């Protein structure tokens, strides 16, 4: 099993993004998404207005391939 998604660009001039998630990685992918979202909420609470923050999230780089 493989989940395939296509995320459109903002308009017709911009290309979208193809994402393919192999069946074996679905549970790990969902877990990483949850952890990354929790980090986002945590950072949002402590960020000062007008400042920029950056953090590396969890994920599978191999999922972001065209098909």
What average pLDDT score do residues 56-66 get? 59
d(CA 31, CA 27): 6
Of residues 67 and 59, the one with the higher pLDDT is 59
What average pLDDT score do residues 5-26 get? 85
CB–CB of 66/24 below 8 Å?
no
What average pLDDT score do residues 10-18 get? 82
DSSP secondary structure string, 15-30?
A: --EEEEEEGGGHHHHH
Structure tokens at 17: 């993004």
Q: What is the pTM (predicted TM-score) of this model?
A: 0.58
């Amino acid at each position: 099993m493989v989940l395939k998604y296509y995320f459109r660009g903002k308009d017709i001039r911009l290309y979208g993004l193809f994402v393919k998630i192999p069946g074996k990685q679905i549970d790990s992918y969902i877990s990483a998404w949850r952890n990354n979202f929790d980090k986002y909420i945590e950072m949002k609470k402590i960020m000062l207005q007008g400042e920029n923050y950056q953090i590396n999230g969890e994920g599978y780089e191999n999922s972001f391939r065209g098909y």
